[in-house]
Structure 1
Amino acid sequence: MKNKKKKIYITTSLIIVLSLLLSACSEQKNQSSENKATSIRIGTKDFTENLIVGELYALALEDAGYQVERVPNIAGSVIHSSIVNQDIDMYPEYTGTGLLAILKLDLLTDPNEVYATVKEEYKKQFNLTWLEYSKANDGAGLVIRAEASEKLGIKTITDLQKHATELRFASQGEVDQRADGIPALEKIYGKLNWKSSKVYDNSLKYEILKNNEADVAPAYTTEGQLVNKDQYILLEDDKQVWPPYNLAPVIRDEVLSAHPDIAEVINKISSALDTDTITALNAKVDVEQEEYEDVAKAFYESIQ
Structure 2
Amino acid sequence: MKKSLKSIFTTSLLAIVVLSALLSLAGCSKGNASGPAITVGSKDFTESLVLAEIYAKALEDNGFSVKREFNISGQGPHEALLKGSIDLYPEYTGTALTVILKEPALFDAKQVYDKVAAEYKDKFKLDVLDQANINDSQGLVITKKASDQFGIKTISDLQKNADKIRYASNGSFDQREDGLLGLKKVYGEFNFKSSKVYDGGIKYQVLKNDEADLAVAYTTEGSLVDPQFVVLDDDKHLWPPYYVAPVVRESVIKDSPKVANVLNAVSAKLDNPTIIKLNAAVDIDKKEYEEVAGDYFETIKADVKAAADK
Q: TM-score, normalised by structure 2?
A: 0.84
Q: 1:251 aligns with which of 248, 261, 266?
A: 248
Give, in angstroms, the shift of residue 108 of structure 1: 0.9
Confirm or deny that 1:272 pairs with 2:269: yes
Aligned counterparts of 1:281 and 1:83: Cα–Cα separation in 2: 26
The amino acid across from 1:281 in the alignment is L
1:252-300 Cα offsets, whole Å, 9 max, x none, are 1122211111000110000000111111111111122221111111111
Residue 298 of structure 2 corresponds to which residue in structure 1?
Answer: 301
Give, in angstroms, the shift of residue 78 of structure 1: 2.3
Aligned counterparts of 2:38 and 2:97: Cα–Cα separation in 1: 26
Q: 2:173 aligns with which of 137, 151, 175?
A: 175
Residue 158 of structure 1 corresponds to which residue in structure 2?
Answer: 156
Q: 2:260 aligns with which of 260, 263, 269?
A: 263
1:93-144 Cα offsets, whole Å, 9 max, x none, are 0111111111121121111110000001111111111000011111111001
Aligned counterparts of 1:182 and 1:128: Cα–Cα separation in 2: 35
Aligned counterparts of 1:127 and 1:243: Cα–Cα separation in 2: 25
Point out 4+ residue stretches in structure 1 off by more than 6 angstroms: none
Aligned counterparts of 1:98 and 1:248: Cα–Cα separation in 2: 10
1:74 is paired with a residue whose SS is coil
2:192 is paired with a residue whose SS is coil
Residue 288 of structure 1 corresponds to which residue in structure 2?
Answer: 285
Aligned counterparts of 1:158 and 1:89: Cα–Cα separation in 2: 43
Q: 2:80 aligns with which of 55, 79, 82?
A: 82
Aligned counterparts of 1:93 and 1:74: Cα–Cα separation in 2: 12
Residue 232 of structure 1 corresponds to which residue in structure 2?
Answer: 229
Give, in angstroms, the shift of residue 77 of structure 1: 3.2
Aligned counterparts of 1:270 and 1:286: Cα–Cα separation in 2: 22
Aligned counterparts of 2:72 and 2:195: Cα–Cα separation in 1: 34
Give, in angstroms, the shift of residue 37 of structure 1: 4.5
Confirm or deny that 1:125 pairs with 2:160: no
Residue 3 of structure 2 corresponds to which residue in structure 1?
Answer: none
Equivalent runs, 1:197-208 vs 2, <5 Å:
197-208=195-206
2:41 is paired with a residue whose SS is strand
2:167 is paired with a residue whose SS is strand
Aligned counterparts of 1:81 and 1:201: Cα–Cα separation in 2: 32
Aligned counterparts of 2:201 and 2:262: Cα–Cα separation in 1: 36
Q: 1:46 aligns with which of 44, 47, 52?
A: 44
Give, in angstroms, the shift of residue 36 of structure 1: 5.5
Residues 36, 117 of structure 1: alpha-carbon distance in 2 compared, 3 angstrom cutoff: farther
* Identity among equivalent pairs (%): 51
Q: 2:221 aligns with which of 223, 229, 232?
A: 223
2:122 is paired with a residue whose SS is helix
Aligned counterparts of 1:174 and 1:36: Cα–Cα separation in 2: 50
Residue 71 of structure 2 corresponds to which residue in structure 1?
Answer: 73
Equivalent runs, 1:11-160 vs 2, <5 Å:
37-160=35-158
Q: 1:191 aligns with which of 185, 189, 192?
A: 189
1:248 is paired with a residue whose SS is strand
The amino acid across from 2:78 in the alignment is H
Aligned counterparts of 2:129 and 2:53: Cα–Cα separation in 1: 17
- What is the RMSD of the two structures over their aligned residues, measured on CA atoms? 1.4
Aligned counterparts of 1:199 and 1:75: Cα–Cα separation in 2: 28
The amino acid across from 1:85 in the alignment is K
Aligned counterparts of 1:201 and 1:84: Cα–Cα separation in 2: 37
1:231-258 Cα offsets, whole Å, 9 max, x none, are 2111111112211111100011122211
Aligned counterparts of 2:293 and 2:52: Cα–Cα separation in 1: 9
The amino acid across from 1:249 in the alignment is P
Residue 11 of structure 1 corresponds to which residue in structure 2?
Answer: none
2:176 is paired with a residue whose SS is coil
Aligned counterparts of 2:99 and 2:299: Cα–Cα separation in 1: 34
2:267 is paired with a residue whose SS is helix
